[in-house]
A = this chain, B = another copy of it.
């Protein structure tokens, strides 16, 4: 199956556009997992198993594991998700980017070591640095375009000679230059629905990964109106903290499932 087929299958088989972000924080682990031997792995597995009925994708966030000395648990979690939830897309959120010979090692990290379907990447170094991630049609990327953080205007909204904004130029090149294997998507923050509209106009067929719903306060209705493609699909709406920290006691899995189900219903009610 190509990456694009895997993504389409994830959407259709789940009936969902939701992506559950798995961003564990030792300071916020549920009570029953404190003191466990591999608490990040146990937490990630419980979140994945609980929320799988309501989502199309999982997105483990690299820094949360690496910054807390838990990369081995990330690897084990990715392998678990791959086996236990084979119909869900697995996106490694690592925002990689480096010169070609080094990018090839980052691609191995994402697609071989972590067995991810896709990885988030940064476009600043240029399209040649993305090619090692896109040369195999079985895997894909989501390229940072307009990110959800308050300071994303600083560079992404700079106006270029000619009139386009920088993030629009990224969207244009992604849609026209980098997508020969139909495996390029874009990251656009739900905190900027106006910019999502511009991106969708420049890249009508590219999948959009949309963080910023939930803890970051993005606008779901405006996001979907701007981001859905002509078929009423084409987006992955990511939520992390609002789902994974919905509960902190023994029932944290059931609480996460409730939060994922509720958000998924909200999303689907807004689809055409």
Q: Which residues of A contact B (CB under 8 A)?
A: 23, 61, 63-64, 66-69, 71, 95-100, 102-109, 112-113, 122-129, 144, 147-156, 158-161, 163, 166, 169-170, 173, 216
> By the criterion CB–CB under 8 Å, are B126 and A153 in contact?
yes
- The 8 Å CB contact of A166, one of B23, B100, B107, B155, is B155
Q: Assuming the A-B contacts A61-B102, A128-B150, are A159 and B156 also in contact, with contact meaning beta carbons closer than 8 angstroms in the complex?
A: no
- The 8 Å CB contact of A95, one of B61, B122, B156, is B122
- The 8 Å CB contact of A125, one of B113, B125, B128, B152, is B152
Assembly CA distance A148 to B149 (angstroms): 28
Assembly CA distance A106 to B68 (angstroms): 9
> By the criterion CB–CB under 8 Å, are A66 and B106 in contact?
yes
Assembly CA distance A178 to B184 (angstroms): 32
Q: How many copies does the complex hold?
A: 2
Q: Assuming the A-B contacts A63-B106, A66-B109, A105-B64, are A158 and B155 also in contact, with contact meaning beta carbons closer than 8 angstroms in the complex?
A: no
Q: Assuming the A-B contacts A95-B96, A124-B156, A155-B166, are A68 and B105 also in contact, with contact meaning beta carbons closer than 8 angstroms in the complex?
A: yes
> By the criterion CB–CB under 8 Å, are B149 and A158 in contact?
no
Q: From residue A23, how far is it (CB to closest CB) to chain B in Å?
A: 7
- The 8 Å CB contact of A151, one of B106, B125, B147, is B125
Assembly CA distance A97 to B126 (angstroms): 16
